[in-house]
Amino acid sequence: MNRIIRSICLFTEKTSVSNYRQLHEIEAILSRAGFEIQTRRIVTHAETILNLGKQEEQPGLFYAAGSLSRTSLWEQLDDFLKASSVSCNLEIHDHVELHDVDFLFELIRRQPAKTFQFSYTFCNPPSTPFFPAAHFEREGFSLGLQSTDLAAGCEDLDTWFQRKKAVWEELTRLFIDYPDFMGIDSSVAPLFSGDSSFIHFAERLNGSFSNACTSDFFVQTSRFIKQHNPKPVGLCGLMFPCLEDFVLAEAYEQGEFSIERNIFLSLHSGTGIDTYPIGIDEDPRRIQQILNLLLALAQKYSKPLSARFISDGKARIGERSDFGNPYLKDVVILKV
């Protein structure tokens, strides 16, 4: 059983040398306690994408400019395209315009790899350590786990739940004397295959992904992570990253993870549409339609939802992708 911290995320007004010292201190505490650290992240409030892009690059360190307005997003487009380690999101409160979707297709046209670092967000809570939805509200730090690995060898949900709860309680004790510890985003964040894949676990307990989708498996999981997290912050939902969870990517290719099923699962348990592939010839009006549905559902149920669509800038509908990204599984692109 691997105890993996997906993200140590520091929220600060502006970057400084003290930020890096603080991240290293937090990482050292977690490492001594037996946790594996995947990434360190910094989210700022008063920094432009240009300034963040100029920060010294360090392995496993990423930056986010947080939630931007439409005007600010378009004004910083060129800087965003050049900033290899910077993420951001567009938080929409009113109505998704076709011009909002144009930004996504501009990324696809000019720098498709940047689609991985951009999302649309609706009713987005602050202080999640997961990118690109993360945005600043106050200074401090939060933690996000790759808790799928804690399910290794579990033959029922309750065993996994108790492992997760024990880890949350341990993390809370480790940082009890840190007033700037904002909490744990208990979202289930899967990756790759085997024990790291949430869908692998769902299939193992339910027989198939389809069976899991029409059972209360995901509802039970989302209920537990919201009710038993001793110090919750951020999204605290189930993530269904179509291309990052390689078993889910296989289900997508088999027609078992349509956009409708994605939205259905997100509405009752999840956080939205994540790393969902689209072809370069997809109709922008179709994407606008889907985003407006997410906005309406988020507002109706007071629920955070987001959308991150991914393209390699070359593959059309019916063609196989070539993302060139080790975190994304190549698939034959289906029409949304």
- Average pLDDT estimate for 115-130: 98
Whether 323 is covered by a domain: the verdict is no
Q: Indicate the number of domains in the chain.
A: 1
Whether 336 is covered by a domain: the verdict is no
Structure confidence at residue 193 (pLDDT):
97
Residue 110: which H helix or E strand, with range?
helix 98-110
Per-residue pLDDT at 218 exceeds 80: yes
CA distance 245 to 191: 5
Whether 249 is covered by a domain: the verdict is yes
Other beta carbons within 10 angstroms of residue 125's beta carbon come to 17
Give per-residue pLDDT as tens, 259-268. Answer: 999 999 999 9
Structure confidence at residue 57 (pLDDT):
78
Which residues, 6 or more positions from 83, have their beta carbon under 8 angstroms from its beta carbon? 49, 50, 52, 53, 63
Whether 330 is covered by a domain: the verdict is no
Q: Does the bond joining 132 to the residue before it have cis omega, within 30 degrees of 0?
A: yes
CA distance 266 to 239: 8
Per-residue pLDDT at 1 exceeds 80: no
Ranges assigned E (strand) in the chain: 4-12, 36-44, 61-68, 86-91, 118-122, 140-145, 181-185, 272-277, 305-310
Task: Give the rounded percent of residues in the chain with a pLDDT score beyond 70.
Answer: 100
CATH number of the domain bearing residue 60 = 3.20.70.20
Torsion of CA 124, 171, 116, 322, to 10 degrees: -150
Contact between 277 and 311 (Cβ < 8 Å): yes
Give per-residue pLDDT as tens, 263-320. Answer: 999 999 999 999 999 999 999 999 999 999 999 999 999 999 999 999 999 999 999 9
The domain containing residue 57 runs over which residues? 4-310
Whether 229 is covered by a domain: the verdict is yes
Give per-residue pLDDT as tens, 196-208. Answer: 999 999 999 999 9
Structure pTM? 0.96
Structure confidence at residue 58 (pLDDT):
84
Contact between 119 and 89 (Cβ < 8 Å): yes
Model confidence at 56, pLDDT cuts 50, 70, 90, reads confident
Q: How would you label 44-61 residue by residue, b for 16+ Cβ within 10 Å and e otherwise?
A: beebbbebbbebeeeeeb
Give per-residue pLDDT as tens, 78-109. Answer: 999 999 999 999 999 999 999 999 999 999 99
Locus of tokens 């699962």: 265
**277 strand-pairing partners:** 310
- Average pLDDT estimate for 111-124: 98
Ranges assigned E (strand) in 159-271: 181-185
Q: In this structure, what token pair is assigned to residue 178? A: 């840190």
Whether 256 is covered by a domain: the verdict is yes
Per-residue pLDDT at 216 exceeds 90: yes
Torsion of CA 264, 134, 80, 97, to 10 degrees: 40
79-82 contacts at long range (C-beta below 8 A, 24 or more positions apart): 79/48, 79/49, 79/50, 79/53, 80/49, 80/114, 80/118, 81/107, 81/110, 81/111, 81/114, 82/53
Other beta carbons within 10 angstroms of residue 19's beta carbon come to 18
- Average pLDDT estimate for 128-136: 97
What average pLDDT does the structure give for the chain? 97
Whether 301 is covered by a domain: the verdict is yes
Give per-residue pLDDT as tens, 166-187. Answer: 999 999 999 999 999 999 999 9
Which residues, 6 or more positions from 212, have their beta carbon under 8 angstroms from its beta carbon? 199, 202, 203, 205, 206, 218
Task: Give the rounded percent of residues in the chain with a pLDDT score beyond 90.
Answer: 97
Whether 321 is covered by a domain: the verdict is no
| Cα distances (angstroms) measured from residue 297 to each of 161, 196, 225, 301, 305 | 28, 29, 21, 6, 8
